[in-house]
Amino acid sequence: MAPLADSIPDATRLGRVALRTADRSDLVSFYRDVVGLEVLATNGTATLGVDDAPLLEIVADGDARPRDDREAGLFHAAFRVPDRSALGEALVRIRDRWRLDGAADHGFSEALYLSDPDGNGVEIYRDRPRSEWPREDGTLRAPSDPLDLEAIAAAATAGATSTAPPGTDVGHVHLEVSSIDDARAFYVDALGFDETVDVPAMLFVSAGGYHHHVGVNTWNGRSRPAAPEARGLAWFELVVPPAAVERIRDRLAEGNATVTDADDGLDATDPDGVAIRIVPR
């Protein structure tokens, strides 16, 4: 699918993801020991990341209730590692310290799936070179083929490592929404992402020709907005060039989206109540 003339800038990327929880210690232990993030700060909120770059905020709220099965929100947060060796090291660490929920070869990436102690979905993946991404008539395909886990484990040249390597970042977020059409109106028409994959009950959108920065699906029949008092996704961050902020604000306002000026950028809310921080950097 061709980019729109007024698309969000190619340099747009994911920043931090924030999770709300009633038990911060359990989530900190998981993301440190299993995902391999470093604990960078522990004040009211725990900040974890790689190489002093913050990737994850864990917000403690003792009153946070479990997310209702009908509520929209996070499907998974996806941590991208730089190469197949790093993915193998992650697999060795997961097998040693946790449990794997699944794995897939998506053509454009190789992915491992697991769940944190609160039930939030987690993906750890590595991208293939863009020249190898599967396309049909110029359109990106998104298969879910079996992944050769033993070949992935064999690629772990460093064996069992305790930390994710430099270059690890948040590659994308995947959300459970109530309506694909409403999500498209927000993420594509208002925010300015380009559609990359549009199949029944799932939509991928991105900037700069990436496979997806945001994925949405309606597989589990979520019909209620995300609840600010529930455990799970508190917000996620989009990092954009400073010159783009004013145009993004105008586009969101023109699309009747909820958007306000913040100390550092913009705060927006998607049609399902998911909070997004748009940060110039």
> What are the residue boundaries of the structural domains of the chain, listed by start?
13-280
pLDDT of residue 160: 78
Instruction: Give the pLDDT confidence of 90-144 residue by residue, as tens digits.
Output: 999 999 999 999 999 999 999 999 999 999 999 999 999 999 999 999 999 999 9
Q: Please check the confidence at residue 5 and state whether its pLDDT lies above 80.
A: no
One-letter amino acid of 108? F
Mean of pLDDT values over 23-48? 97
Q: Say whether pLDDT at 204 is over 80.
A: yes
> What is the percent of the chain with per-residue pLDDT over 90, rounded to a whole number?
95
Q: Which CATH superfamily is domain 13-280 in?
A: 2,3-Dihydroxybiphenyl 1,2-Dioxygenase, domain 1 (3.10.180.10)
What pLDDT is recorded for position 8?
97
The pTM of this model reads: 0.97
Position 158 scores a pLDDT of: 83
- Sign, Cα dihedral of 190, 193, 198, 202: negative
**Mean of the pLDDT values across residues 139-151?**
98
pLDDT digits 0-9 by tens, 75-94:
999 999 999 999 999 999 99
Encode 99-115: b = buried (16+ Cβ within 10 Å), e = exposed.
eeeebbbbbbbbbbbbe
105 neighbors 84 (Cβ within 8 angstroms): no
Cα 265 to Cα 185: distance, rounded to the nearest angstrom? 22
pLDDT tens per residue, range 216-258: 999 999 999 999 999 999 999 999 999 999 999 999 999 999 9
- Whether 264 and 280 have beta carbons less than 8 Å apart is answered as yes
